[in-house]
Amino acid sequence: MGSELHDNALEEQLLPRDIPPHQESSRASFASSVFNVTHAIMGSGILGLAFVMANTGIIGFSVLLLIVALLAAYSIHLLLELCQQTALTSYEDLGFCAFKTTGKVMVAVAILIQNIGAMSSYLFIIKSEFPAVISGFLHISHNGTPWYLNGQILLIIIVICVVLPLALLRKIEFLGYTSGLSILFMVYFTAVVVVKKWYIPCPLFNGTVGYVKNISSDECTPKFLQISYKSAYAIPTMAFSFLCHTSVLPIYCELQRPSKSKMQKVVNIGITLSFSVYMLSALFGYLTFYGKVDSQLLHTYSQYLQHDTIIMSVRLCLLFSVLLTVPLLNFPARKSLTLLCFSNLRFSWFRHIIVTLGIQLLIVLLAMYVSSIQNIFGVVGSTTSSALLFIYPGLFYLQISREPLKSLKKLGALGLVILGILMGVVSLVLIILNWIHSTATVL
């Protein structure tokens, strides 16, 4: 009881007090905070989860996804504890508090790479889906021969004409509201995946050439436990899909009558909703295509339902969401890069433009020349996602908290660090070995 009273007193001391009524009413409600956390979680990772299930099995996937979701909730719990103890409300500031400039740089580098990876995955979606949308509307073969069906050309045009002008703006708060539609699009995508499972028979049917030949009935049987070299992408893709830690602390600051317990409930509900959407889309996507599912789920549908109106509408919604999200992700990436490279943080249009152009050039090159979106999920997920989701929260808690090392929370933080390092290193090594094996097979 004494500990609880101390925690409550500390919480009241550190969190905003005596907020004027007009400011309190302008703060985010509980429901809108849940919406914001869910929006921060759900992204392009949803497209790779059916592929992960195909390579881990239904039970293996479900167990791993649940573990990653629980660890994500626990690591956010540690971050909220640190916010309460230090009165700091940004990931970078917690890094500085723990390890001074080194800690702040560690966080900034991880956020920069994470956002570059996320933006690259979105541009990869544009490269792969926009030609399919055009060919679907024109009812012509999607062979990439005409320039307007060439994904790389379309990607460059869209970045120059749409993404870059929005990213160059100093403030684009209006996109923060419209990008909330992405949650609706994710739910719509999941509903379509569930419904379409009953319209695509196995053996797989192609509307152009008929049934696919030489497919055994065993390939239409779901696997409950599956291990292959592609299973190495499982945890990195899941970590990439659940990462929201850089957004949680600002959302915490905007919450009406903020408290650690209230924000933890917000996070738990957001993670539960995201887990449900992820689970449904992965399960029914896998049960539709089984072992034939592509690393980018929508691309698999284009092979069998080229001119399906519903699938085309999903593509359009996804492309619209991407066009709104990439400029938003450019802001934290630019902030991190500016923090790392420039000591003078006063605004400069010249620096603003150069940094933005550099980031856009890098993500375009990655999207153009990375062969599979799964490679983006794998590398980013096993490195920066693992660091931001598992390693840094535990490491910062061990360094900042004054509890004894044998306390339950510090032991939990230590376990989170060790687990994060092991999962990240093992996954990255297996992914690299997978690349070497694939290259040797091609040669």
Q: How confident is the model at residue 2 (pLDDT cuts 50, 70, 90)?
A: very low
pLDDT at 173: 57
Domain membership of residue 344 (yes or no) is yes
Domain membership of residue 308 (yes or no) is yes
Domain membership of residue 339 (yes or no) is yes
Q: Identify the CATH number of the domain in which residue 112 sits.
A: 1.20.1740.10
Q: Looking at the predicted structure, is the pLDDT value of residue 306 above 80?
A: no
Helix spans in 290-407 (H):
297-304, 309-341, 349-369, 373-380, 386, 392-400
Domain membership of residue 2 (yes or no) is no
Domain membership of residue 10 (yes or no) is no
pLDDT at 16: 44
Domain membership of residue 422 (yes or no) is yes
- The total of structural domains in the chain comes to 1
Q: Are 290 and 222 in contact (CB under 8 A)?
A: yes
Most confident of 59-63, 129-133, 300-304: 59-63
Q: Are 415 and 141 in contact (CB under 8 A)?
A: no
Residue 297 tokens, joined:
């789920």
pLDDT at 151: 84
At position 313, the amino acid (one-letter code) is S
Q: How confident is the model at residue 175 (pLDDT cuts 50, 70, 90)?
A: low
Domain membership of residue 245 (yes or no) is yes
Across 368-382, average pLDDT: 85
At position 1, the amino acid (one-letter code) is M
Domain membership of residue 136 (yes or no) is yes
Q: What are phi and psi of 206, to 5 degrees?
A: -110, 125
Compare 177 and 209 and report the one with higher pLDDT. 177
Q: How confident is the model at residue 40 (pLDDT cuts 50, 70, 90)?
A: confident
Across 401-422, average pLDDT: 90
Q: Looking at the predicted structure, is the pLDDT value of residue 214 above 60?
A: no
Percentage of the chain beyond pLDDT 90 is 32
Across 321-344, average pLDDT: 82
Q: 133 is in which domain, residue-wise?
A: 19-442
pLDDT at 281: 93
